[in-house]
Amino acid sequence: MKNYFSSQFKLGILGGGQLGKMMLYDTRKYDIQTYVLDPSAEAPSRIACNYFEQGSLMDYDTVVAFGRKVDVLTFEIESVNVDALEALEKEGITVYPSSKTLRNIQDKGIQKQFYIDQDIPTASFKRYPSASALLEDAPTFPFVWKSCTGGYDGKGVSVVRTAQDLEKLPEVPCIAEAMIPFKNELAVIVARNPSGAVTTYPVVEMEFHPEANQVEYVICPARIDDHVAQKARAVAEKVSKAFEHVGLLAVEMFQTEDDDILVNEVAPRPHNSGHYSIEGSYTNQFEQHIRAILDLPLGKTASKVASVMVNLVGEENHQGQVLYKNIENIMQMDGVTAHIYGKKETRPYRKMGHVTIVDQDISVARATAEDVKKMIKVISE
């Protein structure tokens, strides 16, 4: 085994947001040297890495030059230059997840077609070069509109109920997806290393904010029957195998009224649906991602305790220097841990942090999560 620890080995991370910052906690635990590239001088990861570089993740030359400085390269965001990753692989730099995996995921139109080709259950859809081309096709309302690229944190996804709704959307390549009547939105995180070891985390249940189309609560374990949970984990493993991914793959799914499992979309990196694992699991998702990409033994994915994660997002009508109102009050509550991402400026619905609530009883944790959500407010000074 290569000596990664307290050595000259360098791990590169494309993207310096909160996911990178939380990944860096575990590189510190293992004393692994880290290099981070991010377009923002104020990136949250800046305080926690050995070397920080400001630059565009979509610029070919920037990504190639950065990648040549490290031994293994990974990413915490999908919006990176895939041609640059492919060039680095040809030069012998290890990139996980691979450029091939990311090519099949980065564009939602390609990703959806991949599910069809691989016989993975998913909602029916159609791809369009623009919103106006979609409108010309006389679609049946309502449906879900998704931008093929660039969507995140509720952006790039809209429920379209009328032609007027469609006219407000940007003229970008997109997909129109059938609305699925579902009982639950679920997620499973799969970890895989280059040697082929695979493990899955317990199924989580996601509750969404009705306006922002963002996850408000992640509940682990999901409050579903065992046979549905087993089916969800099996589908997630099938998706992982099809993508041949290395690292983490977060698989978001719908549980239909008939208890079928349909894949919604995936993320080849640590994910919001796995944040609970920092307090709740034997091996948190960030450590697991590092283990996987370095081909180390994968850690135990079972939960130590029931967990609920609450996203902290900017309040409406607030923009500017951030203030976490009542944070000291939630810190007095049993089983509550706050994570602040380090973004100095808040704006409506921007992810600024999260709170994990743990308890032996999932219903107690969920009730406490509601209290936390009501109490803490992310506002501007």
Which CATH number is 173's domain given? Answer: 3.30.1490.20
Picking from 178, 205, 220, the residue at the C-terminal end of a domain is 178
115 is a domain residue: no
Q: What is the mean pLDDT of the segment spanning 242-248?
A: 97
Judgement on whether residues 152 and 219 belong to the same structural domain of the protein? no
Q: Is 216 annotated as a binding residue?
A: no
Q: Is 146 annotated as a binding residue?
A: yes
Amino acid at 154: G
**pLDDT of 158-185, one tens digit each?**
889 988 888 888 999 999 999 988 999 9
Q: What is the 3-state secondary structure (H, E, C) of the chain?
A: CCCCCCCCCEEEEECCCHHHHHHHHHHHHHCCEEEEEECCCCCHHHHHCCEEEECCCCCHHHHHHHHCCCCEEEECCCCCCHHHHHHHHHCCCEECCCHHHHHHHHCHHHHHHHHHHCCCCECCEEEECCHHHHHHCCCCCCEEEEECCCCCCCCCEEEECCHHHHHCCCCCCEEEEECCCEEEEEEEEEEECCCCCEEECCCEEEEECCCCCCEEEEEECCCCCHHHHHHHHHHHHHHHHHHCCCEEEEEEEEEECCCCEEEEEEECCCCHHHCCHHHHECCCHHHHHHHHHCCCCCCCCCECCEEEEEEEEECCCCCEEEEEECHHHHCCCCCEEEEECCCCEECCCCEEEEEEEEECCHHHHHHHHHHHHHHCEEEEC
pLDDT value for 212: 66
210 is a domain residue: yes
- Model pTM? 0.95
The sign of the CA dihedral 192, 198, 199, 200 is positive
22 is a domain residue: yes
Q: Is 328 annotated as a binding residue?
A: no
Boundaries of domain holding 49: 10-95
- 116 pLDDT band, cuts 50/70/90, is very high
Q: Is 179 annotated as a binding residue?
A: yes
pLDDT value for 345: 94
Structural domain tally of the chain? 3
Judgement on whether residues 286 and 173 belong to the same structural domain of the protein? no
Q: Is 343 annotated as a binding residue?
A: no
Q: Is 365 annotated as a binding residue?
A: no
Q: Is 65 annotated as a binding residue?
A: no
339 is a domain residue: yes
373 is a domain residue: yes
pLDDT value for 152: 63
Judgement on whether residues 366 and 224 belong to the same structural domain of the protein? yes
Residue 315 above 90 pLDDT? yes
376 near 355, Cβ under 8 Å? yes
Judgement on whether residues 313 and 231 belong to the same structural domain of the protein? yes
Q: Is 333 annotated as a binding residue?
A: no
Picking from 162, 178, 194, the residue at the C-terminal end of a domain is 178
Judgement on whether residues 209 and 350 belong to the same structural domain of the protein? yes
Judgement on whether residues 217 and 366 belong to the same structural domain of the protein? yes
Q: What is the mean pLDDT of the segment spanning 291-313?
A: 97
